């Protein structure tokens, strides 16, 4: 990726084998997080179309400016419905009770309905290993959005373009995912043993996203293994 030419400094790293609660907090009371020798397993609830069965795992730390996010992802489910989402630099809308610090109103997300997030948070969103909810999908998609609480919905929040793949995110296949966020650009690289896929989403119209927490969202029925989750920030240029 062209955006990966600069030097980076790691500010967050989790192998996924220790206690997840040291570095993360969870939205939702049905989905589960477990650690093992192979990494961290996120398993959303089993009931399709039950909002209580979504889950979001958030970093306790907040990150400002440009960020590089890297993690290893192995899909554990065999679903062809619902999505996984990477939330990038989330903050609350600022309208009480949805204050800037999303940790402060986490109790309002015990049922992590999607509308609670796009109505009340500013963030960038990337869907991956994602499928439509009609169960007819033969390929997964990658889609980016910029949540705008003023809009009060998802319509018009998408960042172009959208990508589809019939070969990425096959269950049981490890993938290395790298995302670089700058003010108006999201660059994504997805790698497995057979291919490397590049995506670039551009925010041309909305205010930029400057800081916040990073989250992993699993909609109902979705499960995956994560390891070596790393966040880096740019090193200052040499003088």
Structural contact between residues 214 and 69, judged by C-beta atoms closer than 8 angstroms: yes
What are the structure tokens assigned to 216, written together? 């992993």
The answer for residues whose C-beta is within 8 angstroms of residue 27's C-beta and 6 or more apart is 54, 55, 56, 57, 58, 106, 109, 110, 112, 215
Q: Give the model confidence (pLDDT) of 36-52 as tens digits.
A: 999 999 999 999 999 99
d(CA 200, CA 181): 10
Q: Is the pLDDT of residue 5 over 90?
A: no
Q: Tell me, what's the pLDDT at 238? A: 65
Q: Tell me, what's the pLDDT at 6? A: 82
Q: Is the pLDDT of residue 109 over 80?
A: yes
Structural contact between residues 125 and 114, judged by C-beta atoms closer than 8 angstroms: no
Beta bridge partners of 180: 68, 187
3-state secondary structure of 31: coil
Domains of the chain: 11-229 (2.60.120.200)
Q: What's the pLDDT band for 19 if we cut at 50, 70, 90?
A: very high
Q: How many CB atoms lie within 10 A of CB 233?
A: 16
Q: Give the model confidence (pLDDT) of 127-161 as tens digits.
A: 999 999 998 888 999 999 999 999 989 999 999 99
3-state secondary structure of 104: helix
CA angle in degrees (0–180, nearest 5) for 203-3-186: 25
Q: Give the model confidence (pLDDT) of 168-222 as tens digits.
A: 999 999 999 999 999 999 999 999 999 999 999 999 999 999 999 999 999 999 9
d(CA 91, CA 203): 18
Instruction: Please state, for a pLDDT cut of 90, what percent of the chain lies above it.
Output: 93
CA angle in degrees (0–180, nearest 5) for 157-61-14: 100
d(CA 33, CA 126): 21
Instruction: Please state, for a pLDDT cut of 70, what percent of the chain lies above it.
Output: 98
Residue with token string 């949540």 = 147
């Amino acid at each position: 990726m062209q955006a990966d030419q600069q030097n980076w400094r790691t500010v967050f790293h989790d192998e996924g084998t220790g206690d997840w609660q040291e570095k993360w907090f969870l939205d939702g009371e049905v989905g589960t997080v477990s650690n093992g020798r192979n990494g961290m397993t996120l398993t959303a609830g089993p009931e399709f179309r039950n909002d209580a069965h979504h889950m979001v795992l958030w970093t306790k730390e907040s990150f400002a400016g440009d960020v590089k996010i890297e993690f290893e992802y192995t899909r554990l489910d065999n679903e062809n419905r619902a999505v996984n989402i990477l939330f990038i630099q989330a903050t609350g809308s600022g309208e009480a009770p949805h204050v800037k610090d999303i940790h402060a109103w986490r109790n309002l997300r015990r049922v992590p309905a999607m509308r609670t997030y796009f109505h009340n948070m500013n963030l960038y969103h990337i869907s991956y290993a994602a499928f439509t909810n009609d169960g007819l999908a033969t390929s997964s998609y990658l889609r980016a959005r910029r949540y705008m609480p003023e809009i009060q919905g998802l319509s018009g929040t998408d960042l172009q373009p959208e990508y589809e793949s019939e070969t990425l995110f096959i269950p049981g296949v490890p993938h290395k995912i790298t995302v670089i966020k700058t003010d108006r650009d999201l660059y994504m690289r997805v790698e497995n043993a057979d291919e490397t896929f590049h995506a670039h989403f551009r925010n041309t119209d909305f205010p930029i996203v400057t800081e916040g927490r990073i989250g992993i969202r699993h909609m109902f029925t979705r499960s995956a293994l994560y390891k070596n989750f790393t966040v880096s920030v740019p090193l200052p240029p040499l003088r």
